[in-house]
């Protein structure tokens, strides 16, 4: 059974992201007509290796949202140090405080979908090769920083 607080929050965020004019992300629609599954486009930030790219993403919200974070998965294949081979993203703002390796930057119920989009865009702009989900990509990014 869906949490009514989660549905209220998601409806509010849905209206917000549909009105958002940020050129680097765009709401596509609900997957399977579920308020808990959102499809988005993320566009590669200018000046990055991902510039010009369009990446379809799936955001899954738990019934306990916003107390617990959503999960983020790239459906479009992407070669990135902080993205697992199945497309799931390793970013601190999507982790609970107990799971986060740092004492800051973890999930807080005040974060919203546009804020998470910004975090994912930041990850595309500034990969973290020291906390890799994809070791091969991390090695290449780490080598690029040493040049």
Is residue 66 a contact partner of residue 11, using CB atoms and an 8 Å limit?
Answer: no
State the Rg of the chain over Cα: 15
DSSP string, 35-87: TTEEEEEEEPPTTSTTTT-EEEEEEE--TTTTTS--EEEESS----TTB-TTS
**N- to C-terminal Cα separation, the chain:** 53
| Candidate list 57, 90, 117, 146, residue with the active-site label | 90
Where do we find the tokens 């459906």? Answer: 75
117 given a catalytic annotation:
no
Active-site residue set: 90
């Amino acid at each position: 059974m869906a949490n009514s607080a989660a549905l209220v929050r998601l409806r509010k965020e849905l209206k917000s992201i549909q009105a958002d004019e940020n050129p680097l992300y765009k709401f596509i629609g609900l997957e399977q007509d579920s308020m808990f599954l959102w499809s988005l486009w993320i566009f590669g930030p200018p000046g990055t290796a991902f510039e010009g790219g369009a990446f379809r993403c799936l955001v899954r919200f738990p019934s306990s949202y916003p107390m617990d974070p959503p999960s983020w998965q790239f459906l479009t294949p992407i070669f990135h140090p902080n993205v697992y081979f199945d497309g799931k993203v390793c970013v601190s703002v999507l982790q609970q405080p107990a799971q986060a390796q740092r004492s800051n930057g973890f999930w807080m119920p005040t974060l919203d979908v546009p804020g998470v989009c910004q975090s994912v865009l930041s990850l595309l702009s500034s990969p973290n090769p020291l906390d890799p989900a994809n070791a091969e990509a991390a090695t290449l990014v780490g080598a690029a920083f040493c040049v």
